[in-house]
Amino acid sequence: MKKGLILLLAMALMLGGVACGGGDAQSETFHVGTSADYPPYEFIQLDDSGNEVFVGADIELAKILAEKLGKELKITNMSFDGLLGSLAEGQFDCVIAGLTNDPEREVLFSDNYFARNQVCIIHSDSAATIQTVEDMAGLKIAGQTGTVQETLAKEHAGESAIAVQNFNDMVMMLQGGQLDGIVSDSDVAEGFVATNSDLMLAPFTIPYENDAVAIAFQLGNQELCDQVNVILAELKEDGTIEQLMADAKALQEELAAE
């Protein structure tokens, strides 16, 4: 991986606004929780003044939602495994973080806005030995802590599977030979493979029936969820959602090449 991109992304977990209450549909602030170590959904870029700013498809989506809701956008960044607990405590209005629409999560989900598959990133040296989902059994396969991918890693690799808090750490561990593979969303995996010649996608998808991405709200916050769903429908219909992802992937590759 290009050192510059690693440094930019690794700094993400050091950022974050101070949480100050989730608010409701009448609040003047649209307060979003995210975990900005997950390109192309959310990651970090330096602006012309050298300041770190949040970028990515989800970040641009949050900006559009705030504008259309007539609210001021506030983004709080934290480790992914703390997001839903903080949402339940009312620290922000919603979570926009490449979040899988998993029915076991105790949140109110918006309508889906992205679709993807579950895949396994492997080192190119393992191309001949990891050919099927069954080949993951007994290998050191990682998934990000608190995610569906952690669950899938444990399901298919067994006791040898591990959870790692930061996605970029998993990539470096895979490149360093400490992991055999990483369970990942296809959008995220494709970006890392495109910018790292020593990584590749295993030639299979991992079965999972709830692959779509949605926004999470507190249980009971139906009014704000409904307002967001109306906007999401418009953005999907006019192609904006698809364009946001394409632009984010292009930016990720641009930063990796620098």
Segment 243-248 shows an average pLDDT of: 96
Same domain, 19 and 104: yes
Average pLDDT of every residue of the chain: 90
Among 201, 220, 246, the domain boundary falls at 201
Residue 206 domain flag: no
Segment 66-91 shows an average pLDDT of: 96
d(CA 54, CA 189): 20
CATH assignment of the domain containing 141: 3.40.190.10
What was the pLDDT predicted at 60? 98
Segment 220-243 shows an average pLDDT of: 97
Segment 135-145 shows an average pLDDT of: 97
Half-sphere exposure of 41 (CA within 13 A, CB side): 27
pTM: 0.83
Q: How many secondary structure helices (H) and strands (E) does the chain include?
A: 8, 12
Residue 21 predicted with pLDDT over 60: no
In the block, which residue shows the tokens 């307002």?
A: 227
Residue 146 domain flag: yes
Dihedrals φ, ψ of 80, to 5°? -55, -40
Residue 131 domain flag: yes
Same domain, 109 and 226: yes
Same domain, 181 and 125: yes
Range of the domain at 90: 3-114+212-257
d(CA 193, CA 202): 11
d(CA 135, CA 157): 8
d(CA 93, CA 210): 23
Residue 4 predicted with pLDDT over 70: no
Same domain, 37 and 143: no
- Using left for φ > 0, alpha for ψ between -120 and 50, and beta otherwise, residue 186 falls in alpha
Model confidence band, residue 7 (pLDDT cutoffs 50, 70, 90): very low
What was the pLDDT predicted at 54? 96
- Do you find a cis peptide bond into 103, omega within 30 degrees of 0? no
Q: What is the pLDDT of residues 174-226, one digit of tens each?
A: 999 999 999 999 999 999 999 899 999 999 999 998 889 999 999 999 999 99
Same domain, 132 and 21: no
User: Are 53 and 60 contacting, i.e. CB atoms less than 8 angstroms apart?
Assistant: no
Residue 253 predicted with pLDDT over 90: no
